[in-house]
Amino acid sequence: MHTVTLTDPSSSVAAQFVPEAGMIGISLTDEGVELLGQRRGLDAYISAGKTMGIPILYPWANRLGANSYAAEDATVTLTPGEHGVRADPNGLPIHGVLAAYDGWRVMTESAHELVAELDFGADPALLASFPFPHLLVVRVALADRTLTVHTTVAATADKAVPLCFGFHPYLQVPEVPRAQWTIETPAMRHLAVDDRGLPTGESSAQDGGLEVLGDKAFDDGYDQLADGAVFAVSGGGRRIEVRFDYGFPAAQIFAPPAEDLVCFEPMAAPTDALRRGGYRVARPGEPAEAQFSIRV
């Protein structure tokens, strides 16, 4: 598969993406030091959907509460193992249907920018899981020590397209023990979840602040994020920021205690919104845009 390498003309920061493997980001380095969690690697992502790097979670981020949903006058039944649907340990559909999807088409490729598009409506298998024809365009650019990821969703039929997608950047601070990492979070609302990781409906306001990661574990959902909200992890004189520039009012923080990584996941809607409602839509003739950025 062709790997696209982006370089920053003003620094030693570089990034790599693989359009043919689901437009996944597989590397973000500074002076050759890897800042993305590699986990089981690209091969496991392609063969089994095991996430690493910066995958897109599309058309829903994280899990759904059942193997069916009703949205925009459509009722859909999902079958794990078919049409790109994968299940979590509880049998719930997780992370959408585009893991390692090979139908992306590169529109622009240069030393600093990559643009790829996916005609979602052209694939009956994709429409079987998400029957809303649209064009999905992802543009990634690298400049001023910042990787910017911009997404556009444009309806191509007379149906509005639910916006429940997200991204899952796995970040690591190399050469510093996980217990010494400091994480920074903005003001937002914490969404309580049950033992399956689904929102219970209970919530509480949370002020922004700093805390040492220590041996803490996170798999927590949030919403009411303002445009420009910043999350960060730092340690050993290095800081990595994830800025929710616009279009991502929800988030998930994921930091399993057994792995040296932390994720600040930009989400267009909270977990299970495709079933519960409360999501925005891209209406015919009104493309929707969202952007986040990672600054090293």
pTM (predicted TM-score)? 0.97
Q: Which residues pair with 290 in a beta bridge?
A: 151
| Class of the CATH-defined domain 4-295 | mainly beta
199: preceding bond cis by omega (within 30 degrees) = no
CB atoms within 10 A of CB 11: 15
- What pLDDT sits at residue 201? 94
CB burial string 79-94: b at 16+ within 10 A, e below: eeeebbbbeeeeebbb
pLDDT in tens, 68-83: 999 999 999 999 999 9
- What pLDDT sits at residue 60? 98
Nearest Cα to Cα of residue 80 among 101, 63, 56, 55: 63
Give mean pLDDT in consecutive 10-residue pieces for the chain, a chain of 296 residues: 96 98 98 96 94 98 97 95 93 96 97 98 96 98 98 97 98 96 98 94 96 95 98 97 98 95 98 96 98 98
Q: Where are the domains of the chain?
A: 4-295
Give the integer Cα–Cα distance in Å for 62 and 41.
20
CB atoms within 10 A of CB 126: 25
**Tokens at 153, concatenated:** 């969703």
Residues in the chain: 296
Please provide residue 62's backbone torsions phi and psi, each rounded to the nearest 5 degrees: 60, -145
Question: What percentage of the chain exceeds 90 in pLDDT?
Answer: 99
Under a CB-based contact definition with an 8 Å cutoff, are residues 246 and 290 in contact?
yes
Give the integer Cα–Cα distance in Å for 119 and 115.
14
- What pLDDT sits at residue 236? 94
pLDDT in tens, 121-136: 999 999 999 999 999 9
What sign does the CA torsion over 113, 119, 124, 128 have? positive
- What pLDDT sits at residue 30? 97
Give the integer Cα–Cα distance in Å for 227 and 242.
12
First to last CA, the chain: 27
Under a CB-based contact definition with an 8 Å cutoff, are residues 264 and 186 in contact?
no
- What pLDDT sits at residue 126? 97
- What pLDDT sits at residue 125? 95
Give the integer Cα–Cα distance in Å for 118 and 135.
6
Give Rg (Cα) of the chain.
18
Under a CB-based contact definition with an 8 Å cutoff, are residues 293 and 243 in contact?
yes
- What pLDDT sits at residue 267? 98
What sign does the CA torsion over 164, 95, 66, 117 have? positive
Q: Which residues pair with 36 in a beta bridge?
A: 171
- H/E element, 274: helix 273-276
| DSSP symbols for 2-14 | PPEEEE-TTSSEE
